[in-house]
Amino acid sequence: MAVSFDLRRRLQVHGIVQGVGFRPWVYGLAYQFGLSGYVLNSTLGVTIEVEGDEVGQLAFVAELKANPPVLAIVDEIVEELLPPNGFTGFTIRESHYDTAGFALVPPDIATCPECLTDLRDPANRRFGYPFTNCTNCGPRYSIIQDIPYDRPLTTMSEFPMCAECDAEYHDPADRRFHAQPNACPVCGPWVELWNHSGVLARGKDAITETRGLLAAGKVLAIKGLGGFHLACDAANETAVLTLRQRKRRTDKPFALMVENLDAATRICILADADRAALTSIRRPIVLLPRLDDAPLANAIAPGLNWLGVMLPYTPLHHLLFNGAEYNALVMTSANLSEEPIAARNDEVAPRLHPLADFILLHNRTIHARVDDSVVRTFEGKERLLRRSRGFAPQPVDLRVPVGEVLACGGELKNTLCLTKDHYAILSQHIGDLENRETMQVFEDTLHHMQRFFRVAPKLIAHDLHPQYLTTRFALAIPDIPRLAVQHHHAHIAACMAENRITGPVIGLAFDGTGYGTDGRIWGGEIFIADFTGFERAAHFRYVPLAGGDAAVRQPWRSALAYLLDAGVAPGPLLNQVPPQQLAIVRKMLDAHVNTVDCCSCGRLFDAVAAILGIRLESNYEGQAAMELEGIAEDTESPYPFDFDGDTLDFRETVRAIARDAATPGLAAGRFHRTLAAAAAESARRLRKATRLNRVCLSGGSFQNVRLLRQTLELLRRDGFEAYTHSLVPANDGGLCLGQAMIANHALTRL
């Protein structure tokens, strides 16, 4: 190309610009504007140098900023003008490795429409191939071993490309130009179907056999993008009950996968925002209202009127529905309850043989375990409940400089966070850190992310609770200062961070359990907070709970405590509890033996659910509260409550609920209204005292859409600026972001 070499521009592009087709796009853009030079991946992002006509260069830079590839996120372009170098032509150079730099790593992306066309075209050489991908889709984070993002630094390095794939990879006109996971049936990974004795089938035959086994009611372990799923026909009651028994999952709902939106409408009610979430490139599990006549097994989601549904996000998933006899599959994480998701082939025998009749596996190594993300739509937006595949490790852009900090998160729904430059980089969902196996995944994930992002923490933040495994982990690291962060302060700080508020704010943190500065269990908190500290302005009334964690598993214990505190005889309301157990726990409460004082919103939800006969024993976290939300009827009438000094007192509420126990749906609806009214009244009182008008809502209780909607309605009606979560979960999955922001402000004072 003929150009005049008047000047040279060096552009350093920061953001998610590796693994998203950025270099091939830049190549085409340079050709379009008649420029010479090069583009390469580096540990800093993408480096570009261009020479040629200045008008063309300026147009090139403008296009870089305005219209990057659909999967790319350009956060910053640093320009430098240099003397001309005499480039001839434009090339994609070998990647540059610098141990000091860091680049953002893209999340895994669902199969694109073009690759689906290849998959379904009998004339295409990738017809029926379960690992079809291109620069616009496919595995990313789950296969990357290090940066820069090039095939030798991924688990695809085990598969040398054949001549045809190599030609695609080097052809600027091909959409697989520099697609690092590029593969085909000749040179790429393959699938095998196993029983407990050995291989039954390979390739297309394995997938055909798998469809038949699922239709016949068998339970299969299927290796996917970030780990194994356990799958069965969601309409087959026997298969679903068998899966529950083997997985030791009594009631917790199973996620479902359906072929397309039409299939989803046969089982659920879909709003426009739900359709958008289901079909997005991230393909999360979306919580949807269940149709009463949905053709599904009753054991899919016992006691709940919503379902978690996702669409296929890998070619293999699409092939499982190709001509299948089932409408929906259970697709749940392949693990026993409380264990990490299985991801390696060497875990098949010890972990999956007891759970599955057959196993469909493949030989592409999963480097990072990545579970499915879960969202719920509200006010037209996705609200993350579990941030993992498709989202992690995409950072939260804080728009302010931050230091290098590690935030360890909490114990339940754990994620960790690293900060650097102006980013908070959250890990994928790790899980509940209640055993050594899950803690090992936490440590592996940390080392993985530190290697990617070149973070050497100058400060480590952890929860205030002294017994959390993350606290013990943080305290065991030598030579790095640690900071204990109160649980609910971290919740409010997380909401502030994602909404880019520096504070101070009124913070309403409603959840199940958080260790307080007074050594008691908090969870119904009204704060004045910023990143430097908090003032506990008010809280729910304390009640004693007998047996500590036993009260979480047995909501009737909370009900007994709240009823006795309110002066209500519990007998008629808790008559399904064995009298001997009731008597023992009552003695514990009367004598304050083996009890802990608690002011938790979550335990209040549990108590109300038990008083109304909804749930006396919980088989998973939040079960009682979710079922209570599910039966709640619409009403504008809250119950009475008291606000005495710094204490929100719900004893009168409990007395009224006990009187209304014969109409549980109405009582549940009025209870939600009461909590929303109490939240709004708390904010009004603090605004009067402080003149603050910004309110942040956080904590797991605000995953409850009924409570969230009613609270926001009241706050907005009173003129408050109310902020909620969408980028990170309101539950403990977002805790690490708040810890990281608090730690960064503390770092400036060290």
Which DSSP symbol is given to 459? E
The pLDDT assigned to 73 comes to: 84
Judge whether 43 and 148 are in contact, CB under 8 Å. Answer: yes
Q: Let me know: does 459 contact 743? Beta carbons within 8 Å.
A: yes
What was the pLDDT predicted at 99?
59
Q: What is the pTM of this model?
A: 0.93
Co-location of 331 and 403 in the same domain: no
Q: Which pLDDT value is given to residue 1?
A: 38
- The enclosing domain of 52 has a CATH number of 3.30.70.100
Spell out where 186-327 has E strands.
Answer: 191-194, 199-202, 220-223, 228-233, 255-258, 285-289, 306-310
Indicate the residue among 92, 108, 126 that finishes a domain: 92
152 lies in some domain: no
Q: Is residue 206 part of a domain?
A: yes
Among 374, 400, 416, identify where a domain stops. 374
Indicate if 565 and 476 belong to the same structural domain: no
Calpha distance 275→47 (Å, rounded): 37
> Do 541 and 447 fall within a single domain?
no
Report residue 101's pLDDT band, with 50, 70 and 90 as the boundaries. low
**Is residue 125 in some structural domain?**
no
3-class secondary structure, 244: helix
DSSP line for 67-128: ---TT-EEEEEEEEEE------SEEEPPPB--TT-----PPPBPPPHHHHHHHH-TTSTTTT
Q: Which residues contact 203 (CB under 8 A, 6 or more apart)?
A: 185, 190, 191
Average pLDDT of the chain, as a whole number: 94
Query: Over 60: is that where the pLDDT of 3 sits?
Result: no
Cα separation of the two ends of the chain: 56
Report how many domains make up the chain. 4
Give me the mean pLDDT over the 66-81 stretch.
Answer: 86
Give Cα separations from 14 to 45, 95, 103, 391, 615 (angstroms).
Answer: 5, 15, 7, 18, 51
pLDDT digits (tens, 9 = 90+) for 576-590: 999 999 999 999 999
Which amino acid would we find at residue 166? D
Structure tokens at 525: 């908190």
How far is Cα 748 from Cα 702, in angstroms, rounded to an integer? Answer: 32
Domain presence at residue 172 = no
Distance CA 299, CA 238 (A): 9
Residue with tokens 């790095």: 480
- List C-alpha distances in Å: 727 to 279, 375, 620: 18, 10, 25
pLDDT at 96: 72
The enclosing domain of 413 has a CATH number of 3.30.420.360
Same domain, 351 and 478: no
Specify the residue for token string 């064995």. Answer: 578
pLDDT value, residue 748: 82
Distance between CA atoms of 475 and 465, rounded to whole angstroms? 12
Q: What pLDDT score does 205 carry?
A: 97
What CATH number should be reported for the domain holding residue 195?
A: 3.90.870.10
Once rounded to an integer, what is the mean pLDDT over residues 670-691?
98
Are 710 and 736 in the same domain?
no
Residues 202 and 267 reside in one and the same domain: yes
Measured distance CA(76)–CA(92) in Å, rounded: 21
Residues 365 and 402 in one domain: no
**Residue 495 identity:** C
Tell me the HSE value of 456 on the side-chain side, using a 13 A CA sphere. Answer: 4
Residue 510 lies in a domain: no
Do residues 553 and 689 both lie within one domain? yes
- Cα-trace Rg, the chain: 27
Last residue of a domain, one of 350, 374, 398: 374
Q: Is 80 exceeded by the pLDDT of residue 414?
A: yes
**What is the span of the domain harbouring residue 51?**
8-92
Do 361 and 473 belong together in one domain?
Answer: no
Q: Does residue 179 belong to any structural domain of this protein?
A: no
pLDDT at 4 over 80: no
* One domain for residues 361 and 392: no
> Is pLDDT above 80 for 103?
no
| Residue 503 resides in a domain | no
Whether residue 295 has a cis bond before it, omega within 30° of 0: no
Residues 357 and 403 in one domain: no
Q: For residues 565 and 571, what is the distance between their CA atoms, to the nearest angstrom? A: 14
- Residue 370 within any structural domain of the chain: yes
For 553-575, write each residue's pLDDT tens digit.
999 999 999 999 999 999 888 99
Give the pLDDT confidence score for residue 490 in this predicted structure: 98
Can you name the residues that pair with 333 across neighbouring β-strands?
229
Residue 502 in this model has a pLDDT that exceeds 70: yes
Q: Is the pLDDT of residue 389 over 90?
A: yes
Note the pLDDT of residue 100.
Answer: 59
User: For 29-60, how does the pLDDT look when each residue is reduced to its tens digit (9 = 90+)?
Assistant: 998 999 999 998 887 789 999 998 889 999 99
For residue 171, the tally of other CB atoms under 10 A from its CB is 13
Q: What are the start-end ranges of the E strands in 464-609?
A: 482-485, 505-515, 521-530, 533-540, 543-546, 595-598
Q: What percent of the chain has pLDDT over 90?
A: 82
Q: Do 674 and 525 lie in a common domain?
A: yes
**Could you tell me which of 491, 423, 462 has the C-alpha nearest to residue 730?**
491
